[in-house]
Amino acid sequence: MTLVKLNSFQDIKSEVLERITTRTWPPGELIPNEELLAVEFGCSRATVNRALRELSESGLLERKRKAGTRVVLNPVRKATLSISIIRDDIEKRGCTYGYVLLERAHIMPPLVLAKTWGVAAGRKMLHLKALHLSNSVPYAYEDRWINTEHIPRALEVDFSAHNANEWLVQNAPFTHGDIAFSAVNADARESEYLDVRERDAVFVMDRKTWHDQTPITTVRVLFAPGHRMHTTL
Amino acid sequence: MTLVKLNSFQDIKSEVLERITTRTWPPGELIPNEELLAVEFGCSRATVNRALRELSESGLLERKRKAGTRVVLNPVRKATLSISIIRDDIEKRGCTYGYVLLERAHIMPPLVLAKTWGVAAGRKMLHLKALHLSNSVPYAYEDRWINTEHIPRALEVDFSAHNANEWLVQNAPFTHGDIAFSAVNADARESEYLDVRERDAVFVMDRKTWHDQTPITTVRVLFAPGHRMHTTL
DNA sequence: AAGTGGTCTAGACCACGGC
DNA sequence: CCGTGGTCTAGACCACTTC
């Protein structure tokens, strides 16, 4: 075993990655423990630890105390999605952002929603429908419910002037959330709002957020046809 | 300032998160430096560093040498997607996985593909179309190109017996990739393969992978209607 | 019981980037 | 210049898991 001086955890990541892709350490194989690698690479155990920890976070290694570190058999690659505010998406492309409130109502949510989202049944919530425009062209249509039991102030906000997404980000922080993406055929109303043909395929994001156990808001966003969500591996 | 003993970086993450959401440290604000926080929390600087680093990786803090650490104004939340192989997705739900090769050809790719993917024009590549089944029902349809200049062995593999995805994962590792998700209306052929009506909305994943600079494979996967991709924030 | 990774510490040096 | 975060080190203790 040659002792090569690899001082940074980045170098070690690359070297380990190399050994994985070239199958020096084939899938399923147990690799040497941190202490041995530290000796081999001429660095401290903490540095090896950081390199291996990050590789395991990206799904390439599997680590267990006492059992050691293994190369994952069928790597489940992790891709990071950046969920930005729609306004930013639009402005990043050099387009002008526009916003229109379509509907506002303080009503009881459908039972399905109350069930799946965990809000008390029989309580009114704020329901908003709005359109996001890019250079005056429909970009996304959103259908949102806000838990006004928890955020009563939302009832007094003029959501025709303030984008609900941005108001909530600044006024009702959440601790965790839950997102799903899918594809649906635009129904009659949706296609009218987005100015597309009925049944056109639209990309959908469903998001629910909570502050600890308390539901904050849930929103379904339909993006105009052609929308792509992009990331790297 | 009270000195509270917070020994773990997890505790510190929670505490800092708490201060962000309760606006003890409002958006845009500069927070104390690592050394001060280490004193306040009664732990070492390295521990504070790990907590703050992780929070900055999830998009809540912004750190710059000399400038210090700030609470991000409009947090762009990072969500992690797990991209698993289709077989696992299906079997995880307790369904039986099936696979059918529909077409195989060693031909020149369309010019658009060569351009966007960076392969030399005028070279033949392996083109595969296949169907993934869940309990014998179409689950996803894939249209794939494999760079046989780089992986000549792929020409000798019987892809009617071996799933291309899995063969490639095990035989042609990649160093990086690029994924996009979108929604499209199924065309006549696609809807026939997936056994749905024409123009039904399908969820699409386009993926390209490279080994260093060399293209490995590119695939477009169309998922049967109803498919959802899920993650947490 | 013993081996492994998970984490913390105290101290150090360095790179970046405002000043 | 010099304050800040970024990283590394050597050592330590602990938690988990397999044996």
Cβ contact, residue pair B83, A233, below 8 Å: yes
- Are the folds of A9-71 and A86-223 the same? no
> Is A3's pLDDT higher than 60?
no
**What are residue A219's DSSP bridge partners?**
A144, A207
Q: Can you tell me which residue has its alpha carbon closest to the C1' of nucleotide D4?
A: B66
Could you give the CA distance from residue B118 to residue A152 in angstroms, rounded to a whole number? 54
* Strands laid side by side in the B61-64 sheet: B30-31, B68-71, B61-64
Q: Domain extents for chain A?
A: 9-71, 86-223
CB of A125 closer than 8 Å to CB of A222: no
Å: B1 CA to D6 C1': 27
Token representation of residue A182? 């899918």
Burial B128-165 (b: 16+ CB within 10 A, else e): bbbbbbbeeebbbbbbbbbbeebbeebeebebeeebbb
* Among chain B residues, CA nearest to A211: B21
Tell me what pLDDT residue A116 has: 80
Domain formed by B86-223, architecture: 3-Layer(aba) Sandwich (3.40)
Do the beta carbons of residue A219 and residue A142 sit within 8 Å? yes
Share of chain B above pLDDT 90, in %: 66
Chain B residue with minimum CA distance to A54: B54
Q: Which residues contact B113 (CB under 8 A, 6 or more apart)?
A: B119, B145, B218
Assigned CATH topology for domain B9-71 = Arc Repressor Mutant, subunit A (1.10.10)
Interchain pair A229, B170: CB under 8 A? no
The answer to whether strand C lies under 7 Å from the CB of residue A68 is yes
Handedness of CA A107, A196, B188, B106 (dihedral sign): negative
> Does A217 score more than 90 pLDDT?
yes
Nearest to B229 among A59, A174, A181 (CB): A181
- State pLDDT tens for residues A41-74: 999 999 999 999 999 999 999 999 999 999 998 8
- Mean pLDDT, chain B, rounded, equals 90
Beta bridge partners of B128: B104, B144
Is residue B188 over pLDDT 80?
yes
Query: What's the CA B54/C1' C13 distance, rounded, in angstroms?
Result: 23
> For strand C, is any atom closer than 7 Å to the CB of B116?
no
* Lowest-confidence segment of A89-93, B169-173, B200-204, B217-221 by average pLDDT: B169-173
Q: Which residue minimizes Cα–C1' distance to D3?
A: B66
Structure tokens at B95: 């369904």
Give residue-wise pLDDT tens across range A153-169.
989 989 988 889 888 98
